[in-house]
């Protein structure tokens, strides 16, 4: 499995697992646990979650599914913007730790920008890091101007920006991704198969067939070919988790890349960062 180097030198798997909408329906629980375990077995040891997902249900599911594999994992969780101040962030972090059944979060993110001044969030994150509750911190859904403000507010310790980026959402290519690259901040692509909407795309289907792959694998391989990009598809079944993990071995040839470029052209001018 390809690995990505975080600022500071630690490496993580380029392909991880998302958990939005997981842990919310009892009828799906067994399949979701099996999916997460199969994904970890297949090498997708970075797990992305948030206190928002099912109001803690996704974090609890991870604790139940993977508690016995903690040492192998790199756990990412996110705090609500309204919890990102000096008083609330430590409490939100403790609650996430309890639900995850662990003593540290590997990467803790501000889920999106809210009303709390960025300098205060930076300070609260750094204090959690010094206390050993989190190992790295970062942000999500911050566009270039917000990132510039974050760094100016003392946030040069930010490890990642988790953003909406996939074949059908190429806006960040013109400004945010180059900016993150220049700063040495790792980008993490969420909704990499556009929440399933890319799966039925005829171009993806045609390319997938020609490569003996699946549309999901083509969409993931397209993201994974970028150096330093972490990609976090969510799978609700063992079959999807294994299929997604195998995308790490898929190489897109020049013909496939040209066809994808024609079907999903790069933006011609900068666009505001989108979010889901």
Nearest distance, CB of residue 68 and ligand NAP, angstroms: 22
Q: Least distance (Å) from ligand NAP to the CB of residue 204? A: 11
Stretch that binds ligand NAP, among 81-89, 116-124, 186-194, 200-208 (CB under 6 A): 186-194
* E-only strand ranges, 19-159: 46-48, 74-79, 105-110, 134-140
- Binding residue for ligand NAP (CB under 6 A) from 77, 102, 191, 201? 191
The alpha carbon of 82 is separated from its chain's Cα centroid by a whole number of angstroms, namely 21
From 119, 117, 118, 163, select the one nearest 140 (Cα to Cα): 163
Does residue 190 touch ligand NAP according to CB under 6 A? Answer: yes
CA dihedral of residues 209, 210, 212, 215 (deg, nearest 10): -50
In the bound complex, what is the minimum distance in angstroms from residue 269's beta carbon to ligand NAP? Answer: 24
Q: Tell me the C-alpha distance between 14 and 188, whole Å.
A: 9
Q: Which single residue brings its beta carbon nearest to ligand NAP?
A: 18
Candidates 196, 225, 249, 261: give the one binding ligand NAP (CB under 6 A): 196
Distances from the Cα of 225 to the Cαs of 85, 137, 175, 220, 247, in angstroms?
37, 25, 19, 9, 11
Q: Confirm or reject binding of residue 243 to ligand NAP (CB under 6 A).
A: yes
**Is residue 235 a contact residue for ligand NAP (CB under 6 A)?**
yes
Yes or no: say if 11 and 4 are a contact pair by the CB < 8 Å rule: yes
Per-residue contact flags (x/-) with ligand NAP for residues 4 to 23, judged by CB under 6 A: --------------xxx---
Is 77 among the residues that bind ligand NAP (CB under 6 A)?
Answer: no
Nearer to ligand NAP, 115 or 132 (CB): 115
- The rounded distance, in Å, linking the Cα atoms of 204 and 194 is 13
Active site residue 165: no
User: How many CA atoms lie within 13 Å of 167's alpha carbon, on the beta-carbon side?
Assistant: 28
Q: Which positions touch ligand NAP (CB under 6 A)?
A: 18-20, 48, 111, 140-141, 162, 190-196, 199, 216, 232-237, 240, 243-244, 275-276
Give the residue numbers marked as catalytic.
53
């Amino acid at each position: 499995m390809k690995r990505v180097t975080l600022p500071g030198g630690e490496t993580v798997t380029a392909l991880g697992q998302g958990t939005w909408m997981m842990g919310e329906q009892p009828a799906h629980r067994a399949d979701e646990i099996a999916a997460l375990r199969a994904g970890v077995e297949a090498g997708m040891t970075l797990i992305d979650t948030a206190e928002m997902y099912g109001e803690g249900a996704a974090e609890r599911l991870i604790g139940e599914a993977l508690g016995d594999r903690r040492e192998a994992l790199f756990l990412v969780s996110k705090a609500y913007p309204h919890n990102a101040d000096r008083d609330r962030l430590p409490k939100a972090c403790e609650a996430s730790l309890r639900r995850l059944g662990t003593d540290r979060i590997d990467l803790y993110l501000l889920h999106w920008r809210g009303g709390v001044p960025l300098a205060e969030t930076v300070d609260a994150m750094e204090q959690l890091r010094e206390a050993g509750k989190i190992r790295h911190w970062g942000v999500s859904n911050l566009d270039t101007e917000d990132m510039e403000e974050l760094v100016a507010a003392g946030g040069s310790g930010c490890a990642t920006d988790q953003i909406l980026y996939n074949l059908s959402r190429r806006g960040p290519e013109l400004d945010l991704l180059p900016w993150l690259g220049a700063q040495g901040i790792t980008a993490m692509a969420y909704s990499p198969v556009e929440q399933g909407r890319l799966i039925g795309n005829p171009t993806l289907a045609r390319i997938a067939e020609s490569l003996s792959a699946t549309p999901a694998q083509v969409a993931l391989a397209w993201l994974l070919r970028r150096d330093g990009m972490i990609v976090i598809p969510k799978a609700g079944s063992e079959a999807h988790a294994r299929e997604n993990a195998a995308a790490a071995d898929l190489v897109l040839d020049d013909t496939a890349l040209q066809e994808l470029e024609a079907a999903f052209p790069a933006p011609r001018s900068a666009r505001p960062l989108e979010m889901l």
